[in-house]
Structure 1
Amino acid sequence: MKKNYYTLLSLSILTALYSVSSSAELKHQCLFGVPHFIGEKVSGDPNSLPIYIEADSAELNQPKYARYEGNVDIKQGNRHLKTEIADIKQTGIGEGVQRYAYVAGGFHYSDDLINLSGDNGKLHLNTKNADIANVSYHFVDRQGRGKAEQLELRENYRLMKNASFTSCLQSDDAWQIEAAEMKQYIKEEYAEMWHARFKIYGVPVFYTPYFQLPIGDRRRTGLLIPDLGGSSRDGYWFSQPFYWNIAPNFDATITPKYMSLRGWQLDNEFRYLTQIGEGKIAGEYLHNDRYDKFTSSDRSRYLIHWKHNSNFLQNWRLNIDYTRVSDKSYFTDLSSSYGNSTDGYADQNFRIAYYQPNYYVAISAKQFQIFDSAVIGPYRVLPQIDFNYNKNGLVTTPLDFSVFAQVAHFENKSSLMPRAWRFHFEPTVGLPLTNRYGNVNIEAKLYATHYNQIKGNSTEAENVQKTINRVLPQIKIDLQTLLASNNTFIEGYTQTLEPRVQYLYRPYRNQSNIGSRRNTDYLGFGYDSALLQQDYFSLFRDRRYSGLDRIASANQFTLGGTTRFYDNQSNERFNLSLGQIYYIRDSRIDESDANSTHGSSSSWALESNWRINPQWNWRGSYQYDTRLKETSLANTTLEFNPQGNNLVQLNFRYASQSYIDQNLTLGVNRYNQDIKQLGVTVAWDLTDNWSVVAHHYQDLALKKPVDQYLGIRYNSCCWSVGLGAKRNVTARPYQQDNKLHYDNSVAINFELRGLGNDHRSGIDDMLRKGKLSYIKAFSLY
């Protein structure tokens, strides 16, 4: 299996790199094959537009009758009729005059919407009405054609008897729908069909007494194209989405899905757009999961998702991001559009805010549903009230002033954990000094925090200090300058040097009495704090920890700098940033040695971007831990993107075991190994019709693949089919360390095309497949 997979991936890469670019995009080819309206469109009342008639001979009996024979050419506004014999009849007088054209023996008719060819017909010259027999039709400037025994053409609809329709171009009968009666609604852009038969290359494969089909870009209620496939986890599966166009600003997609190894699952998504906001509400429900690796006694599984964003009453903002699942292994066992097995938690957030030019007030609630095995989870915050005020140029002085204040209430589901109210006040005064050589920002800040803590309800809960006051002053001096030179070692480029020096001082306060002092079972640090990951830009942050419960002491200098290269069009082509913190004293939060920095300096942090040329881009970052005396983090990405969707990306990431263990949250088992992963992603439009995407991520430490995907898609003007195969690592209950289990799956997707203007190759969709989907990691564009 392994050998075959590498052979297939290698073939995909070689085919992509050596394929010849197509001469035109598929969309252009498809639209080139349809009729187009020639000339300038005319608008106005058809009855008021003049009629122009040319013919070899004419017999006139004015004003009621005229007969034209031989190369008859009739034009009126956007309408154009060619035939051999045409009789023009007029009835009524004055404003009530009615004019008709009767044609026989074959004719061709065209306007700005449709082209028609028929045996005989009656055309009302005052309107767009027409009645035609034995007609062939083709839409103008878009795909769609067919035939009918009888056609009733009106202003807003076309009614056909014994008719057919397809979006395929001429001489292509890949698929078509035949119906005893078909009604096409012009403005609404959809067709109703009665006693419809769906045919593939002339062979009937499906019948329905009634059917609706979109014939444009407007949203329509009806069945969408189904998906089917199979996997070692789900068995054979089939899903049939149904789209419900409830209103112009409301719609829903209902998708029943059958999995042979699991049972029936129902997925629903409702989208809305109103004056006070937009969002979607989704739900997934599996009543009785038969999956043998799912060990819970409750076999029903579900997901609830709600995302809402709104601006209302000019200055108010409301944001909701809520996802909840039935169990911790939901995203591991089931595929979902609203989460991934690589996510460690699900967000459940609410926030409403009022904004003014210099301040805002926000009320929020937060909690997380974690998927880790920790016995005690993180705290939920309900409510949290934030106030932020900023003022530049305080009272006719050059001083900048800001205030951040917060009131928050913390609770934990575990009765072992304390509850607390936290009141925080954080005023800041800054003095920015700027001249042509650079700028200095001198900033003074005060952290004033008050805690009211309540012991947990359990008899085994630890005692906590009920009232805590913590006051921490802070001084920061930040110096930056910009030096530019055209005299670089690369001709035609401008180089900048941007050195930066920052001094930060904050005294030490023992904060071990804030929150729980448990060393086991608790997934957290304080009420809402966690150690921040380090990169170049984080070196200049004020605090080592997120949240406000752990504010470490600081007496340190941070030295860093960035160099950039610009071409003669002022486009940034390369940058390199390097920095390190130098500790005058160790940074501490309590008396524990484990929570203190050690040594005279932090890790070296380096980041770089290089736009080699318009096709090649490179990005890399590197950290060297001076305490551990080893590389702690490294990653690099190289991408070749010659045109359009075509790309080849190579990436590598590394994290040392020591770095992982020292940054893991309390209560989590040690990782016991380095992370070394090498990945390659290929996406290529081989021709106008064929597209391929493949990716492979290999764990070099385990010497095994962790995520593999191969997708192939064929696109024509009127249909497409995609085949995808993936294999990725999955979790199993009570699995042994270093033992990997895989989920293997194959999926097939069929789509009718040409009904709208979407002619995408499908590469974007395939790049999102798999656990480790494609990420464009570059900033120089």
Structure 2
Amino acid sequence: MKKTCAMVVSATLLPIVAFAQETLTPSSQTDSSTTPLAFCSVEPVTFNSAALMPKGHIKVQAIRTEIIQDKVALFSGDVDITSDTAVISASQAQVNGNGRDLIAKGDVTYQDAQLKVKSDSVALRSEEERLEMVNTRYQLTGFVGQGAAKDILLDTDTGIILKDVSFTTCPEGEEDWQIRASEISLEKGTVWGQAKHTRFYIADVPVFYLPYFAFPISNQRQTGLLFPELTSSSRTGVDYTQPFYWNIAPNYDMTISPRVMTLRGAQLNTEFRYLTERSQGKAYVEYLPSDSDIAGNPDRYFYRLEHQGLIGDNWLLNVDFNGLSDNNYLLDLGSDYYSRADTHLYRSISMSYYSENLSVNMQVKDFEVLGNTADSYRAVPEIKISYTKPLGDYFEFNIDSELAHFDNTLETAPTATRFHIAPTLAMPLRSAWGELIAETTLFQTVYRQDNIEGTQLKEDVERTLGQARLYGALYFERDSSWFSDDTSMTLEPKVQYLYTSYEDQTSIGFYDSTPLLTDVEGLFRGQEFTGLDRISDNNQITLGATTRVLDKNNREQFVLSVGQIFYLEDNKVIAATKNQDRSALAAEVDWRFNRNWSFHTDVQVTTDTDKVDLSSIGIEYRQDDVRFIQLSHRYVRDLSGETIDQIGVSASWPITENWQWVGRTYRDIERNRSVETYAGIQYESCCWAVRLVAQRSLNNRYNASGEQSTDDFDSGVSLQFIFKGIGSSGTRRSMLKDGMFGYRQPYSLN
């Protein structure tokens, strides 16, 4: 028997359904808590609004229809009632008063853009703008949240009320956690659920009771408590942090996080964020009054201000300013912004202008130096201007200039003002098969140095140097089957001749210059120092070559690069003097054996002695993002008078579908001791997760004289719970990135 169809006009139904949309629609800003995971057995309910009726209309379809004197309509057999905002399905339905009242019974399903409800009966009172459902199970549309309720009442005045109700984000029948309450209500204009006489259950065991409990039922930013973090370590004792999120405005918010440490006391951490049409930034402050673990109970603090914004169409303003109370703050209390191994906190305020040919950067650079570390110079200010202009079809003119003043916190240290200008005339010729670049540059630098008594520095210094560079490269490619079919191989030889004139520079101080480490690409750099205080004289030829194996999608499977510099004359700049007629041989290999195995190494070998100066090796087996094992080694013969020789192992592997294990250890072979040991295990399901982490690493604490200890270790254990869907869906840190070193992929293949 075919369904019959009846059309009934009723505008009074609209406010009830419209109100439900206003209160329950999840934000479009979803997070991982609502994204179905591979091991989840439930998908969020979806709703197709295309089948809804025009505004003010209702369509009723049923197998049998009976209308009594245009006042009562009876429907039975597969009844479908569709309005402009909701759909109701039932075994039978009755419409009274020309659509004013609707009663549906028998396997009733109600669904709109916010929720889906199955119940024994539904009663809709249009004049009272009231919808009642009895003995229900509900699911939130677009959100993995569901539960049961004895009664559900939707009213335009009071909102939504659920009696004898439960709520969870776990799948039905697998409720690992659940909220049960005598009543849950959603008031008009809010996305918070308010529960009375609330019991929180893990499995079927009640773990705590609250007479009143408020929780979010959407992913919109909302004011309220976030999930706490509980850890333990020898530095802080038992460490408990309770974040409170304040949604001040759509473009302003703040997180206030009281932190209690049994060894040190109570700390207050705050983070304020803002976003405008032309700028964004945040201000972060941590304050610990009277640290009880340190003699004298000093106050301790850390702050940071970040700002990025547009000023006009081409001007950018950037601010990164921070500070802390003492050298050991990062070691004792940690930071989301800096590592425990950092010795400098960088500060800068810059304003930049960019156009097609001209760029201008003005900045003030400063440092917060930790421990008894050599004080660094700050640039207050530094102005850089670069201008580029094509000259015809073959030539290009470029001019770089800089004006900077360098100051030091040490009153006895020299200070300097430096002006530098470097015009360059170049002829760059490039094509698909190669390139040839010929250029000549004039370096003109003027120094004004003060506070130089007792040094070999001069008050006024002028330095004029000339440089000529000729660079050429060829690109060959052919089909190959070395690794697999459908691959191609390239050979990219390159050569560079570089000449830089010499001038004695011993009368110039070191303000922003330090020797650079040399890799394969650095061999063609032509400069051996950062900054401009030293420009090395050169008369040298650099030879290098790169070969690549590409698959049919032009993805690199294998890359080998080698290079070496041959000196035609001895270098005369004292700080860059070399004892050999050639540089160390630099080589780098990246190799993806197959989709799972990858290998990376870079090495520098002194060819006169065949000694390795620097090397790093990494080999990794990776099955997917959570299944990998990595072995790494790094070696430096001489780094500030010390030899670095360390080996490390990192691994991540699921134990079962829900259990994940991460481990990492680094060992110092030179000193025969562990540097860091880290292990974490995590259980995660659709609706909750728990993580246990244990770690032991070097303390690196500074003593009273500013010297850093290299023999003390710190150990700790942390435990974190996440109940998805009623607060934060994740943690602030990842087990792969946590710790002193963290995880890095060992290769750089494209």
TM-score (norm 2): 0.88
Residue matched to 1:406: 402
Structure 2 CA distance for aligned equivalents of residues 204 and 31 of structure 1: 24
Is the counterpart of residue 42 in structure 1 residue 51 in structure 2?
yes
1:711 Cα deviation from its structure 2 partner: 0.9
2:292 alignment partner, SS class = coil
Counterpart for residue 15 of structure 2:
none
* Counterpart selection for 1:753 from 702, 719, 724: 724
Corresponding residue number in structure 2 for 1:135: 136
Letter of the 1:337 partner, please give it: D
> Structure 2: how far apart are the matches of 1:763 and 1:257?
15
Distance 2:207 2:505 in 1: 72
Alignment of 1:327-366 (within 5 A): 327-366=326-365
Matches within 5 A, 1:500-515: 500-515=494-509
DSSP-derived class of the 2:178 partner: strand
| Secondary structure of the corresponding residue to residue 378 of structure 1 | coil
SS in 2 for 1:331: helix
Where 2:734 maps in the other structure, the secondary structure is: helix
Q: For structure 1, which segment, 77-86 or 335-344, has the greater mean C-alpha deviation from structure 2 after superposition?
A: 77-86
How many Å separate the matches in 1 of 2:520 and 2:555? 23
Q: Which residue of 2 aligns with 1:675?
A: 644
Unaligned runs of 5+ in 1: 1-24, 92-97, 516-525, 665-669
Q: By how many angstroms is 1:172 displaced?
A: 2.6
Structure-2 residue corresponding to 1:567: 551
Query: Do 1:31 and 1:141's aligned partners in 2 also have CA atoms closer than 8 Å?
Result: no
Map 1:259-274 to 2 at 5 A. Answer: 259-274=261-276
Q: Which residue of 1 aligns with 2:37?
A: 27
**Compared CA separation, residues 377 and 757, structure 1 to 2 (3 A):** closer
Letter in 2 for 1:483: F
Residue of structure 2 equivalent to 1:550: 534
- Inter-partner Cα distance in structure 2 for 1:463 and 1:583: 29
Q: Does 1:744 align with 2:742?
A: no
Aligned partners of 2:426 and 2:437 also within 8 Å:
yes
Are residues 1:624 and 2:595 paired? no
Cα deviation for residue 489 of structure 1 reads 5.1
Q: 1:233 to 1:682 in 2, by over 3 A?
A: same
Shift of the alpha carbon at 1:436?
6.8
d(CA) in 2 for partners of 1:438 and 1:54?
77
After TM superposition, give the deviation of residue 76 of structure 1 in Å. Answer: 4.2
Q: In structure 1, what is the equivalent of residue 636 of structure 2?
A: 655
Aligned length: 712
Q: For residues 466 and 237 of structure 1, do their structure 2 counterparts lie closer, same or farther at Cα, with a shift above 3 Å needed?
A: same
Verify the 8 A CA contact 2:53 2:82 in the aligned structure 1: no
Separation of aligned partners in 1, 2:76 and 2:379: 86
Alpha-carbon contact 2:703-2:709 (below 8 Å) kept: no
Corresponding residue of 1:100: 101
What are the Cα deviations for residues 659-691 of structure 1, in whole angstroms up to 9, with x where unaligned? 21xxx3xxxxx43xx222111111123333111
Letter in 1 for 2:251: N
1:493 matched to which residue of 2?
Answer: 487
Report the AA paired with residue 238 of structure 2: Y
- Contact 2:543/2:564 (CA < 8 Å) preserved in 1? yes
Give the drift of 1:81: 3.1
Equivalent positions of 1:431-450 (< 5 A) are 431-434=427-430, 438-450=434-446
Distance 1:353 1:737 in 2: 38
Note if contact 2:59-2:81 (Cα within 8 Å) is conserved in structure 1: no
Q: Which amino acid aligns with 2:178?
A: Q
Decide whether the 8 Å contact of 1:465 with 1:513 is kept in 2. yes
Distance 1:757 1:154, change over 3 A: farther
Per-residue deviation, residues 694-742 of structure 1 (Å, max 9, x unmatched): 1111112222211111111111222111111111111245599996221
User: AA paired with 1:385?
Assistant: I
Q: For residue 285 of structure 1, what is the aligned residue in structure 2?
A: 287
Amino acid at match of 1:301: R
Instruction: Indicate which of 467, 475, 480 corresponds to 2:473.
Output: 480
Cα pair 1:681 1:695 within 8 Å, conserved: yes
Letter of the aligned partner of 2:395 in structure 1? Answer: L
User: What is the CA distance between 1:40 and its match in structure 2?
Assistant: 6.3
Distance 2:481 2:83 in 1: 69
In structure 2, the CA distance between the partners of 1:149 and 1:364, relative to structure 1 (3 Å rule), is same
Relative to 1, partners in 2 of residues 1:252 and 1:31: Cα closer, same or farther, differing over 3 Å?
Answer: farther
Q: Deviations over 1:425-451 (max 9, x none)?
A: 111110123467532211111111111
More strand by share: 2
In 2: Cα distance, 1:148 partner to 1:560 partner: 74
- Aligned partner of residue 536 in structure 2, secondary structure: coil
Please, which of 551, 558, 582 is the counterpart of residue 566 of structure 2? 582
> Secondary structure at the residue paired with 2:623?
coil
Structure 1 counterpart of 2:94: 87
What is the CA-CA distance between 1:749 and the residue it aligns to?
A: 0.6
After superposition, the Cα gap between the structure-2 partners of 1:320 and 1:500, relative to the gap in structure 1 and judged at 3 Å, is same
Match of 1:383 in 2: 381
CA–CA distance in 2 between the matches of 1:64 and 1:357?
76
The question of whether the paired residues in 1 share the 8 Å contact of 2:303 and 2:323 is answered with: yes
Which letter maps to 1:377? Answer: D
> Are residues 31 and 757 of structure 1, via their aligned partners in 2, closer, same or farther at CA, if it must alter by over 3 Å?
farther
Distance 1:128 1:443, change over 3 A: farther
Contact residue 57 and residue 83 of structure 2 kept, 8 A = no
Shift in Å, 1:579 = 0.7
- Does the CA-based 8 Å contact 1:153-1:159 persist in structure 2? yes
Tell me which of 721, 726, 741 is aligned to 2:690: 721
In 2, Cα distance between equivalents of 1:548 and 1:189 = 59
Q: Which amino acid in 1 is paired with 2:396?
A: D
- Counterpart contact for 2:698–2:710, Cα < 8 Å: no
Contact 2:36 2:43 in 1 (8 A): no
Change beyond 3 A, Cα 1:766–1:126:
farther
Q: Distance between the aligned counterparts of 1:128 and 1:499, measured in 2? A: 80
Deviations 1:580-635 (A, max 9, x none): 11112232334xxx641221011111111111112111111001134665211111
Question: Would the alpha carbon gap of residues 633 and 351 (structure 1) be closer, same or farther in structure 2, given more than 3 Å must change?
Answer: same
- Whether the aligned pair in 2 keeps the contact of 1:426 and 1:448 (CA below 8 Å) is yes
Identical-pair percentage: 34
User: How much has 1:537 moved relative to structure 2?
Assistant: 0.7
Cα pair 2:436 2:471 within 8 Å, conserved: yes
Offset, 1:162: 4.2
Greater shift, 383-392 or 199-208, is seen at 199-208
Residue 619 of structure 2 is aligned to residue 638 of structure 1: yes
Assess if the C-alpha contact under 8 Å between 2:258 and 2:268 holds in 1: yes
Cα distance 1:129–1:400, how it changes in 2: closer, same or farther (>3 A)? farther
Q: 1:757 and 1:231 mapped to 2: Cα distance?
A: 24
Instruction: Tell me the secondary structure at the aligned position of residue 332 of structure 1.
Output: helix
Q: Deviations over 1:156-183 (max 9, x none)?
A: 9533344332212212332222344423
Superposed CA RMSD: 3.0
Whether contact under 8 Å (2:246, 2:255) holds in the other structure is yes
Q: Indicate how the Cα distance of structure 1 residues 104 and 398 shifts in structure 2: closer, same or farther if over 3 A, else same.
A: closer
User: Following superposition of structure 1 onto structure 2, how do residues 52-71 of structure 1 map, counting pairs within 5 Å?
Assistant: 52-55=61-64, 59-68=66-75
Moved more, 111-120 or 215-224: 111-120
* Contact 1:189–1:217, Cα closer than 8 Å, also in 2: no
**SS of corresponding position for 1:543:** coil
Give the conservation status (yes or no) of the 8 Å contact 1:110–1:116: yes
2:60 maps to which residue?
Answer: 51
Question: Using the alignment, how far apart are the partners of 1:412 and 1:147 within structure 2?
Answer: 68
- Mapped to 2, the partners of 1:106 and 1:410 lie a distance apart of 80
Native 8 Å contact 1:168 1:754 kept in 2? no
CA-CA distance at 1:268 after TM superposition: 1.5
Q: Deviations over 1:224-246 (max 9, x none)?
A: 11111211121111111111112
Q: Give the conservation status (yes or no) of the 8 Å contact 2:52–2:86.
A: no
* Aligned amino acid, residue 241 of structure 1: P
Point out the more displaced range, 546-555 or 724-733.
724-733
The Cα offsets for residues 57-100 of structure 1, whole Å up to 9 and x where unpaired, read as: x5532322123456655444664434455331125xxxxxx532
* Code of the aligned partner of 1:691: Q
- Say if 2:152 is the partner of 1:151: yes
